[in-house]
Chain A
Amino acid sequence: MELNLAVRVLGDDRIEDEAESEEMRDSAGIPAEARFEAVVVPHLSSAYNLARWLTRSDSDAQDVVQEAVLRAWKFFAGYRGGDARAWLLAIVRNCCATWFARNRIAEASTPFDEEQHAVEEETGSPEALAAIRIDLGRLRTALEELPPRLREVMVLREQEGFSYREIASIVEAPIGTVMSRLARGRSRLLRVLAGEGEGGR
């Protein structure tokens, strides 16, 4: 079934679609706008959390989530059921990438040589690990200072609980890369908490 969706943002800030009214209802007669809200609204908190960690700004996170909602509506025809949260967060993450590009964040635009950096990371000596005291304030700073590609997989894995496969789909990278980034992210965070290498280089 073809859904010719043309989304335009009107001058008075409403969003409307120009789809054929018949096709916008599913068999139960529920309009797409209502289905869309039911799909998206439960995951707005997760969307905001991810956007906030990536942009590191309340106002930018709100803007990104709004953009993500617009984009999700535009692509709603392509949502075929399945994990709505993963679907929405992939769009949020995409909007963050756009935000990064627009804001010319150098760290995000630097090509990240996965091979080269793989060697450096270790989980740390057992003695150091035993000495770890989880200082939430330091952890928060350390997570904020992780490179975005490491930060996003940490948030998606530890806070959102996605599987490796789901994370790979959301960040559009192979599973092996996801595992590698998680290992590096964890290693850096643990090193900061153990007092080694302030700033987690």
Chain B
Amino acid sequence: MNGNRAELACVDAARLLALRQDGELDPFESLRVERHLAGCDACRSRARALAALGSALRDASLTFAPPAGFSPRMPRPAESRWRAVLPLAASLVAGSLLTLGALKIRTRGGEESSAARDVLAAQIRASLPGHMTDVVSSDRHTVKPWFSGKLDYSPPVVDLADAGFPLEGGRLDYAGGRTVSALVYRRRRHAINVFVWPAEGRSGEAFSSESGFHVLHWTRGGMTFWAVSDVDPAELRQFTRLLRERLAAAPSGAE
């Protein structure tokens, strides 16, 4: 019996190189192959070629993205369930447009438009079941402190339940290149997300709409606010007006 029966011959190693490339070797085979490669130029050359081929196949010029405007028809529920599913379906359809790169947000400035895209994408992600809130509470005294230790700032949280916009909770999200707070309010079946993070900017409100979502954006007191929802624009403006009034009265929101 050959004393080196653990050694691989090239012909066997060559066969295993594809499995190595594909991460399909078990630990024992993997050790044998690596050992063989350490001492075999020919197989190292083959391994490099396989890796180069793999990388090249993943190049952007060899993968096809759907053309702009491609949007396969999705099933729609019967009329009786339409009201229930509309917000979610609308957000998911909008999500599909985002996925397919067809979304354009028109706002002032490059940084702003990128933040606008971020908050809209975040809103849509949040619309998927289970993703809306990390802290579930209608009590601003619970929601506001939840963020401490998670963010280097404390978002102002106000309650608007008496005006028909109850607080549902909050979560961490990502927008404008950083982790941010998202406060979740509800208006009937619609969610209104208010993304808040420290930034400078114009105090005047910017309004935009895309794919059934409406976005109101302003900056005040060192914080930038993005209110995003698929409620109708009039209600979003009403919500924003109330929010700004209450914040002006108590800038930090809850204690």
Residues of A near any B CB (own CB < 8 A): 7, 13-17, 21, 24, 28-38, 40-42, 44-45, 48-49, 52-53, 58, 61-62, 65-66, 69, 73, 123-124, 126, 129-130, 132, 134, 136, 139-140, 143, 154, 157-159, 163-164, 179, 182-183, 186, 189-190, 193
Contact of A49 among B63, B92, B95 (CB under 8 A): B63
With the chains together, A16 CA to B77 CA distance in Å?
Answer: 6
Please name 16 further chain A to chain B contacts, defined as beta carbons within 8 Å, in addition to the given A37-B74, A159-B62, sorted by A numbering.
A15-B75, A16-B75, A28-B129, A33-B89, A37-B89, A41-B99, A45-B65, A48-B65, A62-B67, A69-B74, A124-B49, A126-B41, A143-B57, A158-B53, A164-B22, A193-B53
In this complex, what residue of A is CB-closest to B101?
Answer: A45
With the chains together, A143 CA to B58 CA distance in Å?
Answer: 12
| Interface range on chain B (Cβ under 8 Å from partner) | 35 or more
- Fill in one digit per residue for B75-94: 1 if any A CB lies within 8 Å of its CB, else 0: 11110110011001100110
**Chain B hits for A157, CB < 8 A:** 22
With the chains together, A179 CA to B55 CA distance in Å?
Answer: 19
Contact of A139 among B22, B62, B75, B85 (CB under 8 A): B62
Q: Is the CB of A190 within 8 A of B99?
A: no
Chain B contacts with A in 10-69, Cβ cutoff 8 A: 14-15, 17-19, 22-24, 41-42, 45-46, 48-50, 52-59, 61-67
With the chains together, A33 CA to B70 CA distance in Å?
Answer: 19
In this complex, what residue of A is CB-closest to B88?
Answer: A34
A73-B75, A126-B41, A183-B18 given; A132·B99 CB < 8 A: no
With the chains together, A52 CA to B67 CA distance in Å?
Answer: 11
Distance in Å: Cβ of A160 to nearest Cβ of chain B:
10
Q: Is the CB of A126 within 8 A of B46?
A: yes
Contact of B78 among A16, A36, A44, A129 (CB under 8 A): A16
**Chain A hits for B88, CB < 8 A:** 30, 34
A-B contact list, 12 entries, CB within 8 Å: A15-B73, A16-B76, A31-B85, A32-B75, A33-B85, A34-B89, A62-B72, A69-B72, A129-B45, A130-B45, A132-B49, A183-B15
Distance in Å: Cβ of A71 to nearest Cβ of chain B:
11
With the chains together, A200 CA to B251 CA distance in Å?
Answer: 70
In this complex, what residue of A is CB-closest to B60?
Answer: A136
Distance in Å: Cβ of A19 to nearest Cβ of chain B:
9
Contact of B62 among A123, A132, A136, A190 (CB under 8 A): A136
**Chain A hits for B14, CB < 8 A:** 123
Q: Is the CB of B92 within 8 A of A37?
A: yes
Residues of B near any A CB (own CB < 8 A): 14-15, 17-19, 22-24, 41-42, 45-46, 48-50, 52-59, 61-67, 70, 72-78, 80-81, 84-85, 88-89, 92-93, 95-96, 99-100, 128-129
**Chain B hits for A189, CB < 8 A:** 53
**Chain B hits for A69, CB < 8 A:** 72-74
Q: Secondary structure of the A side of the interface?
A: helix
Q: Secondary structure of the B side of the interface?
A: helix
Q: Is the CB of A38 within 8 A of B92?
A: yes
**Chain A hits for B52, CB < 8 A:** 132, 134
**Chain B hits for A42, CB < 8 A:** 99
Contact of A36 among B18, B73, B75, B99 (CB under 8 A): B75
In this complex, what residue of B is CB-closest to A65?
Answer: B72
Distance in Å: Cβ of B245 to nearest Cβ of chain A:
35
**Chain B hits for A62, CB < 8 A:** 66-67, 70, 72
**Chain B hits for A154, CB < 8 A:** 57
Distance in Å: Cβ of A143 to nearest Cβ of chain B:
7
Q: Is the CB of A186 within 8 A of B50?
A: yes
Q: Is the CB of A21 within 8 A of B74?
A: no
Distance in Å: Cβ of B95 to nearest Cβ of chain A:
6
A13-B73, A134-B53, A193-B53 given; A31·B81 CB < 8 A: yes
In this complex, what residue of B is CB-closest to A127?
Answer: B45
With the chains together, A66 CA to B70 CA distance in Å?
Answer: 10
In this complex, what residue of A is CB-closest to B62?
Answer: A140
Distance in Å: Cβ of B191 to nearest Cβ of chain A:
14
Q: Is the CB of A38 within 8 A of B76?
A: no
A44-B100, A130-B45, A164-B22 given; A49·B64 CB < 8 A: yes
